[in-house]
Structure 1
Amino acid sequence: MIALSLAEIAAIIGGELRLVDPDTADTVVDGVVDTDSRTMTEGSIFVAKPGAETDGHRFVGNAVAAGAALAIVEHPVDENVSQIVVADVVAALAALAREVVARVRAAGDLKIVGITGSNGKTTTKNFLARILADEGETVSPINSYNNEVGAPVTMLRVTYGTRYLVSEFGAAAPGSIAHLAGLVEPDVAVVLMVGMAHAGGFGGIEATAKAKSELVAAARPDGTAVLNIDDPRVAAMRELAESRGMSVVGFGQSAAADVRAHDLVVTASGTTCEIEVAGERMPLHLRVLGAHHVNNAMAAIAAAGVLGVPASDAIARLETLDIAERWRMQPMGNDRVRIINDAYNASPDSMAAALRTLAQITGPGERTVAVLGAMSELGETAGEEHDRIGLLAVRLNIQRIVVVGPEARRLYISAIGEGSWDSEAVHFPDQDAAFEYLRTELRDGDRVLVKSSNSVGLRHLGDRLGELFS
């Protein structure tokens, strides 16, 4: 964070400053700002966020021991550290982020990119951060820091030397993206897709589309919207962008796209295609597995282009990446048994894309094995969507379908009903049981996808399998 005095911080967040010796109101801090006491270093600011399972106020002492110089709290804590007492620490975190980013922007040439979409946010964020890192100091979220805490924590990492801030915005509810993006008013608003992820919490896919459009509405009027032209709900956001005076850059495979992909070929070593920009075609070999990641790459190339990075440079930098992030189409295992651990998150769209990738990269004499868990936050559509994935797995001729957990049982029943028999589809109550089955079932030539929502935790099963066959 930029250097601020304790008095300045208190004024920004509207809190009561309680000092301990030798601090004064003019004492300056410029360290990490976080709600996790484990990330504290000398001069950091600890935000004591109450939670459903624990209360950050209990960890103020740990934060101080690690070097925290200030605690932002909702009630005073008996620890030897200066504190600012506020009514709501999450609101205080947002207010501090807004002010810090505004000061950095006013003082220099900070450019801000906001990214949202039902799938692909974190991958696109990582792609774009890789491209921009060679242009100047770039701040982007750790993991999927895209909620009411993670987004401001990321914003607060900017300094006067930061040239680019790449923010990822998730939607916990209608208005979430409007609030988070409104803190920084992005220069570039990237909308990837509108799918069924979280649709249960929004009341349907049209409500989800409206929530994603909040990013376009919150961007700077003189900014640019980077839109997936292949997704009709995203393409429709052009009207909103242009009504606000924004420019629009489209990406996709349709002829209307400004950044367009041609001739996709998917293999076990990645995806090759040609990227067309302004009439020029350039080859791209993306080592990150899955044809669906080409869309994320195009979004990153398009956003980087808005910021002045030539497409050829963007492509060259993307080709250096092996994986987008841990647990996202992450290759593991060995040449005999290849594990693809993609269990950080799952929606109907990403589940279908991963299954198609598994089928595409499995060659003659090799066997496809899908280890699948539940997809969360689908609301009343959950049963129907799990049915569809079970049907798709069978129609793609996935040769072993291993379903894990009671919440995913309907996927298993659907696969059986579609014609998967003779132990082609099996169901296990938990990861341990599935692991015991897989350790003896898997054989040379198997290509194994592990996929579920984050809350199900199958990423840990994927890690165990990766280690077993390393």
Structure 2
Amino acid sequence: MIPLRAAEIAAIVGGRLHHVDPATTVTGPAEFDSRKVAPGGLFLALPGARVDGHEFAPAAAAAGAALVLAAREVDAPCCVVEPTGRPEGNSDAYAHDPDGSGAAVLAALGALARDLVDRLTPAGLTVVGVTGSAGKTSTKDMLATILGGAGPTVAPAGSFNNEIGHPYTVLRADAGTRFLVAEMSARGVGHIAHLARIAPPRIGAVLNVGTAHLGEFGSRETIAAAKGELVEALPAAAAGGVAVLNADDPLVAGMAGRTAARVLTFSAAGDPAADLRATGVVLDELARASFTLHDGRGGAHPVRLRVHGAHQVANALAAAAVAIAAGIDPAAAAAALSGHAAASAHRMDVRTRADGVTVINDSYNANPDSMRAGIAALARTAAARDGAAAVAVLGEMGELGEAAVAEHRALGEALAEAGVDALVAVGDSPAVRALAEAAAGAGITSVSAGDRPAAVRAAARILRPGDAVLVKASYADGLWRVAEGLLDEGLQDEGA
């Protein structure tokens, strides 16, 4: 964040100052957790499901916050914005916000972020947007690695990709920032358009259109309509706009007609018509891909990824395409991809215990597409070892609506097709029961576990030295605790 006087902030967000000198300058970052406030920072008094940030304003001020952005007067230096009703963007963000105070602070936060982008863009800031049903975070992390080698880069931590995390990340940028990478999620039509208004991107990448959030959208075509809002928000080609599209996904490739930006395509399948493509893809024993990246300029560059799963090839190509569009040399982009290590927690985090059991912790989130990618990585890892079993510890894929039971049943069948030997199904919802029943019906050893501790015990009984296990579910299930428990099981086996 750039230094701003309290009076400037009030003017930007349409608020009024209370208990503060208008000349007071905010010099630190914005925070919505009072425990993380830095001296000179801006505290965001956002209401939550359990606590209201307004109650923590005095503590934030005592910790050094120069100003509190609030929807009512508090006993601290503050800029007060009036409640405005429901927030723009994700309408589910403040279901617990009956008085609109959260929406007011959120709108003010977005206005402040937009003002910052408007100030920094003429000075050389490039904003990049990334969206897709799967792979957004991995691609965002790869981009941060590549672009970070060319100049100061800001990218969201983890999956800060909604109407709160997006402007919060934007405000991390300052006068020295050259690249701002924005991961953009949607739970409905209009959400990505809203995020793009907060930080207008010059380059936008659409990775894929899958079935994540099918319950909210209703169809893949509606998901495509929402994801395509990113390319619609890009400037025209003459103004430097570039849309990076997946040539292997017809719904994404079809977005070319929705943008005035220059279109740059990529193909993990090696389509020679794509601008960037991969050939010679080979997976090692831990499902890490090596391939040749063809840059569309006649160059061919070797890439050896350190992240796991064949699906990472498409993510790497998308990141390379965005980087090249941003002016990065293709050879430098390929070299950076080869040096990139996983940066976000609980996403294809692969660790091998002392007894040789490999634990694939991909538990941060799940949808049908990412589940199949994780299962493929599991099967590959087990197949590379003589006699090793592939064990899947899976919970529920959320937000699938009426398709939930059918999608989980199909997932159980997919386990058998991939050669998975055993399933531990975590939970007791109709969808998880359908998963377990389908897997058992396909000949897979299937065990049901009611909670996370039971899942650890069940998997520990199945696993033998040298086996591979995938732990994956939607975020709400918190199955990273199972992955941690299985790693601890290995330590206990050693007598630690």
Structure 1 length-normalised TM: 0.95
Superposition pairs for residues 377-396 of structure 1, below 5 Å? 377-396=399-418
Task: State whether residues 201 and 377 of structure 1, in contact with CA within 8 Å, keep that contact through their aligned partners in structure 2.
Answer: yes
Give the one of 259, 279, 302 matched to 1:262: 279
Does residue 418 of the first structure (1) align with residue 442 of the second (2)?
A: yes
Match of 1:328 in 2: 347
Match of 2:3 in 1: 3
Match of 2:94 in 1: none
Does residue 436 of the first structure (1) align with residue 436 of the second (2)?
A: no
Which amino acid in structure 1 is aligned with residue 463 of structure 2? L
Task: State whether residues 147 and 172 of structure 1, in contact with CA within 8 Å, keep that contact through their aligned partners in structure 2.
Answer: no
Match of 2:100 in 1: none
Unaligned runs of 5+ in 2: 84-103, 492-496
Match of 2:158 in 1: 143
Match of 1:279 in 2: 298
Superposition pairs for residues 44-59 of structure 1, below 5 Å? 44-59=41-56
Which amino acid in structure 2 is aligned with residue 440 of structure 1? R
Which amino acid in structure 2 is aligned with residue 29 of structure 1? V
Match of 2:90 in 1: none
Superposition pairs for residues 330-349 of structure 1, below 5 Å? 330-334=349-353, 336-349=356-369
Task: State whether residues 224 and 252 of structure 2, in contact with CA within 8 Å, keep that contact through their aligned partners in structure 1.
Answer: yes
Query: Tell me, what secondary structure is at the counterpart of 2:80?
Result: strand
The one-character-per-residue Cα deviations of 1:102-136 (angstroms, maximum 9, x if unpaired) are 01113x11111000000011110110010011111
How far apart in 2 are the matches of 1:272 and 1:120? 18
Number of aligned positions between the proteins: 459
The one-character-per-residue Cα deviations of 1:248-275 (angstroms, maximum 9, x if unpaired) are 0001122221110112112234111111
How far apart in 2 are the matches of 1:328 and 1:389? 19
The one-character-per-residue Cα deviations of 1:161-201 (angstroms, maximum 9, x if unpaired) are 11110011010321110001122221101100000001110
Task: State whether residues 17 and 85 of structure 1, in contact with CA within 8 Å, keep that contact through their aligned partners in structure 2.
Answer: no
How far apart in 2 are the matches of 1:141 and 1:86? 28
Query: Tell me, what secondary structure is at the counterpart of 1:236?
Result: helix
Query: Tell me, what secondary structure is at the counterpart of 2:277?
Result: strand
How far apart in 1 are the matches of 2:428 and 2:112? 43
Match of 1:461 in 2: 482
Match of 1:206 in 2: 221
| TM-aligned CA deviation for residue 445 of structure 1 | 1.2
Does residue 118 of the first structure (1) align with residue 165 of the second (2)?
A: no
How far apart in 1 are the matches of 2:46 and 2:308? 37
Task: State whether residues 337 and 445 of structure 1, in contact with CA within 8 Å, keep that contact through their aligned partners in structure 2.
Answer: yes
Query: Tell me, what secondary structure is at the counterpart of 1:287?
Result: strand
How far apart in 2 are the matches of 1:83 and 1:126? 34
Superposition pairs for residues 69-468 of structure 1, below 5 Å? 69-77=66-74, 79-87=75-83, 88-106=104-122, 108-221=123-236, 222=239, 223-241=241-259, 244=260, 246-252=261-267, 253=269, 254-269=271-286, 270-277=288-295, 278-334=297-353, 336-362=356-382, 363=384, 364-407=386-429, 408-420=432-444, 424-468=445-489
Which amino acid in structure 1 is aligned with residue 68 of structure 2? A
Task: State whether residues 86 and 92 of structure 1, in contact with CA within 8 Å, keep that contact through their aligned partners in structure 2.
Answer: no
Give the one of 46, 59, 64 matched to 1:62: 59
Which amino acid in structure 2 is aligned with residue 358 of structure 1? L
Match of 2:17 in 1: 17
Task: State whether residues 72 and 86 of structure 1, in contact with CA within 8 Å, keep that contact through their aligned partners in structure 2.
Answer: no
| TM-aligned CA deviation for residue 324 of structure 1 | 4.3
Structure 2 length-normalised TM: 0.90
How far apart in 2 are the matches of 1:185 and 1:118? 21
Query: Tell me, what secondary structure is at the counterpart of 1:319?
Result: helix
State which drifts further: 81-90 or 290-299. 81-90
| TM-aligned CA deviation for residue 318 of structure 1 | 1.5
Which amino acid in structure 2 is aligned with residue 288 of structure 1? V
Unaligned runs of 5+ in 1: none
Which amino acid in structure 2 is aligned with residue 357 of structure 1? A
Which amino acid in structure 1 is aligned with residue 80 of structure 2? I
Which amino acid in structure 2 is aligned with residue 346 of structure 1? A
| TM-aligned CA deviation for residue 214 of structure 1 | 0.6
How far apart in 2 are the matches of 1:126 and 1:44? 26
Which amino acid in structure 1 is aligned with residue 188 of structure 2? A
Which amino acid in structure 2 is aligned with residue 371 of structure 1? V
Task: State whether residues 16 and 86 of structure 1, in contact with CA within 8 Å, keep that contact through their aligned partners in structure 2.
Answer: no
How far apart in 2 are the matches of 1:319 and 1:412? 38
The one-character-per-residue Cα deviations of 1:60-96 (angstroms, maximum 9, x if unpaired) are 133223221111111112x233343332000000000
Which amino acid in structure 1 is aligned with residue 251 of structure 2? R
Q: How high is the sequence identity, in percent, across the aligned residues?
A: 44
Query: Tell me, what secondary structure is at the counterpart of 2:243?
Result: strand
Match of 2:87 in 1: none
The one-character-per-residue Cα deviations of 1:412-448 (angstroms, maximum 9, x if unpaired) are 011122233xxx1111111111112223332101111
Which amino acid in structure 2 is aligned with residue 110 of structure 1? L
Which amino acid in structure 1 is aligned with residue 375 of structure 2? L
| TM-aligned CA deviation for residue 51 of structure 1 | 2.3
Which amino acid in structure 1 is aligned with residue 6 of structure 2? L
How far apart in 1 are the matches of 2:50 and 2:359? 34
Alpha-carbon distance change, 53 to 268 in structure 1, aligned in 2, over 3 angstroms: farther
The one-character-per-residue Cα deviations of 1:202-255 (angstroms, maximum 9, x if unpaired) are 1211111000001111122230000011000000001112xx2x1000011222
Q: CA RMSD in A?
A: 1.3
Query: Tell me, what secondary structure is at the counterpart of 2:228?
Result: helix
Query: Tell me, what secondary structure is at the counterpart of 1:427?
Result: strand
